[in-house]
Amino acid sequence: MNDVSEETRPLLSDVREGLQDRDTREKRKPTPLPKLQIGILMLLHLAEPITSNCIFPFINQLVSELDITGGDEKKVGYYAGLIESIFFATEAMFVFQWSRLSDHIGRKPVLLVGVGGLAISMVCFGLSKTFLTLVISRSLVGMLNGNTGVMKSMMGELTDSTNIAQGFAYIPVSWATGATIGPLIGGQLAKPHDRWPRVFSHPFWIKYPYFLPCGVAAAFSALCFVITALYLKETVRRGRRSGATSSEEGSCDNQDDAPPSLRSVLTRPVLVSVANYGVLALIEIAFLALLPLFLSTPIALGGLSLSPPTIGLILGCLGLLDGIFQALFFAKAIDVLGPKRTFQLGLSTFVPMYALFPVMNLYAKAHGVDWVVWGLVSVQLALMVVMDLAFGAIFIFIRSSVSSNRSLGAVNGTAQFVASVMRALGPAASTSLFATSLERNWMGGYGVYVILILTAFTLFFVSTSLPLNLWPRDDARRDD
């Protein structure tokens, strides 16, 4: 696909019909994906889970060393959850503005600011010695980073109805790859002086024991910044060339006009799709925040008492399996099940995923961490891999709900705003519930899981408002 603008009109009209009647639609040869541009986009996407997930293996240990818990390990969850949530809270304040700005000035400048913010914030995080500076560094990346919504807008502009599933399938694959690399970096490189005292003998590594994984993540983001600046092409067309013909003007996809108002953008299909994205983001981030806390907590206090390197390996294996699974089966799942059933399949996995936490701890209390526990951990990770199918499905729903390419930034910005709010609430809520359940002995300390399972059951019903396939084309929602 050599000219992105030539694909925007067929994308908007065909994508709504592309899966509406899969058995009777005319078979079309898929348009080749612009591999270099999508490759750069996925490289940018890779930087986000690397920087966010590399702290998971050591964040609980880091918090316990700050002397803010008073030596009470039951309180670690409160502070760790706050650090994990603050990024999403500040992102929620700014992500819509960044996405909306990308409709006006283009996607590339916004992406550069975002990946630059990732690099700066990780350096600051690695040099932090107080709880306040940790919070500030995480807030910084949230303020500067609007990349997630902008990248989805750009992916929508780089694909059409024949290859949209293949294009959006790369998003969870890229995230899963970063989710593999990030925890491995964090788990294996934390406290390098303790692990490799001859190599990391300088007092700097004693004073800043968690700088190495943060520095490596920051260096990768800096590399992504350079590659993006040099090779990524802008997809937003602004202004007609002097003397352009009418046909050339028509291929500009109406980008010359000002983007529509937010009120006109928030149609029912957009609102329903965004609401489902928010539901998914909430229960998924609650699980992700709870998992490393559970793994690191002593067995007597409801966890498995695993070390940061082991936690890093577990999370790394999750990302690796997830990336392979999404690459092989996402597009097939969409074709066989359709977007709605694929999305609901992913949501349905949260109940057994949460239920396995108390089962593993009860067994570990009785028999220790043996092969049975590792088998249950493997089952939990496999369920999470299936769950991740839901993200690709809801991205396609959001894309098909947009009435015009001029609205892409606003819609994806709105979606990311809602997801960021949910992701700000999720870690703090789940980890605080974990700590409160232990302190007050709710249901033997397992009350957090009962609450989250009931929440997952309740939120599942939001998905029933989605259409079976994609949003049907409405003549009132014109592409021009």
Q: Judge whether residue 141 has pLDDT over 50.
A: yes
Q: Judge whether residue 17 has pLDDT over 60.
A: no
| CA 118 – CA 138 distance, rounded (Å) | 9
SS3 34: coil
**Would you place residue 228 in the very low, low, confident or very high pLDDT band (cuts 50, 70, 90)?**
very high
Ranking 24-28, 301-305, 396-400, 475-479 by mean pLDDT, the lowest is: 475-479
Write out pLDDT tens, residues 107-117: 899 999 999 99
Q: For all residues of the chain together, what is the average pLDDT? A: 81
Q: Are 295 and 304 in contact (CB under 8 A)?
A: yes
Write out pLDDT tens, residues 122-133: 999 999 888 888
Q: What 8-state DSSP symbol labels residue 106?
A: -
Write out pLDDT tens, residues 306-360: 987 888 888 778 877 887 888 888 888 988 998 999 999 999 999 999 999 999 9
Calculate mean pLDDT across residues 27-34. Answer: 75
Q: What 8-state DSSP symbol labels residue 88?
A: H
Q: Judge whether residue 175 has pLDDT over 90.
A: no
Torsion of Cα atoms, 101 then 104 then 105 then 108, to 10° = 70
pLDDT of 480 reads: 36
Place of tokens 């990030």: 182
Question: What letter represents residue 82's amino acid?
Answer: L
Calculate mean pLDDT across residues 45-66. Answer: 84
Q: Judge whether residue 473 has pLDDT over 70.
A: no
pLDDT of 28 reads: 64
| CA 273 – CA 394 distance, rounded (Å) | 7
Q: Judge whether residue 243 has pLDDT over 60.
A: no
Question: What letter represents residue 81's amino acid?
Answer: G
SS3 476: coil
Q: Judge whether residue 4 has pLDDT over 50.
A: no
Q: Judge whether residue 244 has pLDDT over 50.
A: no
Which residue, 34, 281, 258, is CA-closest to 149? 281
Write out pLDDT tens, residues 391-449: 889 988 988 888 776 677 778 888 888 888 888 788 778 888 888 898 888 998 899 99
Q: How many Cβ atoms are within 10 Å of 136's Cβ, its own excluded?
A: 15
Write out pLDDT tens, residues 189-209: 999 998 899 889 999 999 999
Calculate mean pLDDT across residues 289-301. Answer: 89
Place of tokens 């490759």: 39
Q: Are 164 and 11 in contact (CB under 8 A)?
A: yes
CATH architecture of 8-22+32-233+267-465: Up-down Bundle (1.20)
% of the chain exceeding 70 in pLDDT: 85
Question: What letter represents residue 360's amino acid?
Answer: M
Helix 350-367 crosses helix 339-348 at what angle (to 10 degrees)? 20
Highest mean pLDDT among 90-94, 256-260, 377-381: 377-381
Ranking 281-290, 356-365, 463-472 by mean pLDDT, the lowest is: 463-472
Calculate mean pLDDT across residues 68-82. Answer: 71
Name the more confident of 171 and 215: 215
Query: For residues 437-469, b (16+ Cβ closer than 10 Å) or e, as one string?
Result: bbeeebeebbbbbbbbbebbeebbeebeebbeb
Name the more confident of 47 and 244: 47
